[in-house]
Structure 1
Amino acid sequence: MSLVELIAQADERGLAASGLACLDRCVPLLGGDDEVLRPLWASLAGADAWGDWEERVTKVRGELDVGDAWGEGGGPGSGSVEDEAALLARRMLAAVPGERSARAFREWADGCSVAALRIHRLLDPMDKDSAEGGSSVTARREGRTEGMSPLVAAELRRQVTVLELLAGHGANGVRQALDVSTEGRRVLRAVVSRRARGRV
């Protein structure tokens, strides 16, 4: 089943976990530590997954720098690759739904999926799809995976795995989804660090 199909079929908890996992893997671009999103993961794993969600979202946004996520400046092409990737990550954070709504979470999960794949494509020096713009990301999400770079391929696999875990295990899959996301965050942190060293 393609990533697009998995998102279309996911329930609220699965959609929230999917979006949160994408955001979690991109935390290195926001200057956050590895534990900053743990309160949101804890909300999803609890019996009442939504009782304190809005409060915890507000707290996380206060700890991370959302900046001018929706402003005119800092858009694609206006700065470095790292700046563009960080802007996409800030938009993921700014768009986290504050209250329970299947429609809102589906839109957020879908947007996070696209943004996370674009971030990995931007930061991967081996990527060959950049000239195709958003069309390559759409193709990957629909299941056309030929010729993907390793970094983008790994991100796509993680997105699929998280949705499959939540679909198969519900709240019991949250812990495993967090483990998958943690692995991806370490990979992206290493990529960001390597690129920074290359600019010195």
Structure 2
Amino acid sequence: MTSATSTSLLELIDRADERSLAAAGLACLDRCLPVLAPERTEVLRPVWAAVARGDGGAWSEAVATARTELDGEGDGADETAALVRTMLDGAPAEWAEAALRSWAGRCSEAALAVHGRYDATDGGPLHAGELRRQQAVLESAAHGPTGLRRARELSIEGGRVLRAVVSRRARTA
């Protein structure tokens, strides 16, 4: 990650509101979920709905449900799956700016690390694509419900890319 790009992403996180922060962290988790649970792509849909509503109560409930539904997924797996598990387990139960900002920052770092582990070179195309998606999610989420729809689309696209890479690696291992 270049210094200018890193600063830009950090600035976007620093300026984001609660909804954008929740979307940013959730999008990172959503894109990396195929590493932890390749067949469970829709488990985060209720969490996305809570973000769209900006509803802290629904957020807490949806996060707890997702954790329960993914309990046991990726247990005993490699360090990469453990990073994704950490993103899920670290999701704050409270809809509060400080907690969401901290979580979004940790998710950003973890997602970049996950993508970097699948790149052939340091800072390769997967890492660079993830960085661009993170910036686009934060920029999109700042535009309310329409922007959240775009953030979700970017997340789905990124999840497909990572799922394909993980699948290809599994076949050639």
Q: TM-score under structure 1 normalisation?
A: 0.78
**Residues 58 and 190 (structure 1), Cα distance of their counterparts in 2 relative to 1, 3 Å cut:** same
Match of 1:164 in 2: 139
Gaps of 5+ in 1: 75-81, 129-147
- AA in 2 matched with 1:155: E
Greater fraction of residues in helix: 2
Q: Is 1:127 paired with 2:86?
A: no
Paired position in structure 2 for 1:137: none
Offset of 1:50 from its aligned partner?
2.0
Moved more, 84-93 or 31-40: 31-40
User: Deviation at 1:28?
Assistant: 0.8
Matched to 1:20, the amino acid is L
Q: How do 1:46-85 residues align onto structure 2 when only pairs under 5 Å count?
A: 46=53, 48-65=54-71, 83-85=78-80
Q: Is the 8 A contact 1:97 1:104 kept in 2?
A: yes
Structure 1 residue 68 displacement after superposition: 9.6
Please say if residues 29 and 84 of structure 2, whose CA atoms lie closer than 8 Å, have aligned partners that are also in contact. yes
Q: Deviations over 1:87-116 (max 9, x none)?
A: 100000000011111000000000000000
Instruction: Please state if 1:102 is matched with 2:109.
Output: no
- Count of aligned positions: 166
Q: What are the equivalent positions in structure 2 for 1:85-96 lying under 5 Å apart? A: 85-96=80-91
Q: Which structure is larger by alpha-carbon Rg, 1 or 2?
A: 1
Aligned to 1:8: 14
Percent identity (aligned): 55
Distance 1:67 1:27, change over 3 A: closer
Structure 1 equivalent of residue 159 of structure 2: 185
Provide the rounded CA distance (Å) in 1 between the counterparts of 2:13 and 2:151.
15
Measured against aligned partners, the alpha-carbon deviations of 1:163-193 in whole angstroms (never above 9, x if no partner) come to 00112x1233111100000000000000100
- What runs of 5+ residues in structure 2 fail to find an aligned partner? 1-6
Alignment check: 8 A CA contact 1:44 1:171 kept:
no
CA distance in 2, matches of 1:49, 1:190: 33
